[in-house]
Amino acid sequence: MYKFLFAMLIFCGNVAHATSLDNAIQQLSQEIPGTIVTPTTTEELQSLFKDATLTSVPRIFVDRLPDDFAENGSHELYAKVITALILRSNEQILREKMLLGALKRKFEKNEDWSEQESAFFNSLVEKYDAIAVKTKATQLEQLSLKIDEITPGLALAQSVYTTDWGKRNMQSPYAQKGWLDDKNYTETTYNSLIKATESYVEEMNSEPSYWPWREYRRRAAHRRATENLPYLLAGKLMSYQLEDPDYTRSLQQIITDNPFIIKKLFHATFSDEKGESK
């Protein structure tokens, strides 16, 4: 696991000293280590991921696919690109999750939060849409449900459904929607694959209509879910594309047709976490 997370565990375990937790909160603003790239050709992109496998990807984050990817790209290369981006967002989520756990432990012990801790908590409440929940205890419970990792295999299947393995619609690679007014919405577009992924992960963890999906994710985690988790989670996303009643079945078909999503991506991590070279 990334060294920052180990350091944060030490901070969060020592909640008796407010300054330690405050320091960990300040470190949230640090960039996730890695290199952001915008390759101009698929050949260049392939060279960047030449040492990558489907279980071990480098900290290389592609902000935009090259123009010739639709013609020259491969399923495996696209999977590596998306997996690296999801792992990047998950790393940030783990930072927030550990800090939230530390705040929750202090709350349960009736220990006061520092000004910075309170500000951080309030920012999570707003970011993950726990504002409607009335008490701090219930807000903590809601945030504990919402702030969690996104399974790379599920994210890939959703992106494949939308983009046909990076061949089209890359301005909205996860088919997210944004409201135009109280009754109408449209597809949200992005000029950055990194920003699109960050927004997708935040939406999955905050959108009220995805509550059943998040509850299933939590139960699966408690049961030590198997590699089949992406397939099972896909079946709980009925509300993601309401206009397409076959959406969940389509995701599950993508996963079934591409066994590496279960057999490989379930175990995916950054190559430097395995002691391998970048």
> 277 and 50 in contact (C-beta within 8 Å)?
no
Which of 168, 171, 192, 196 has the alpha carbon at shortest distance from 73? 168
Whole-number Å distance between alpha carbons of 45 and 61 = 11
What are φ and ψ of residue 179, in 5° steps? -80, 130
Per-residue pLDDT in tens (0 to 9) along the chain, 278 residues: 444 444 444 444 444 455 678 888 888 878 899 999 999 999 999 999 999 999 999 999 999 999 999 999 999 999 999 999 999 999 999 999 999 999 999 999 999 999 999 999 999 999 999 987 779 999 999 999 999 999 999 999 999 999 999 999 999 999 988 765 666 667 899 999 999 999 999 999 999 889 999 999 998 876 666 789 999 999 999 888 878 889 999 999 999 999 999 999 999 999 987 544 33
Helix (H, G, I), strand (E, B) or coil at 135: coil
**CB 159: neighbour CB atoms within 10 A?**
28
H or E stretch at 269: strand 269-270
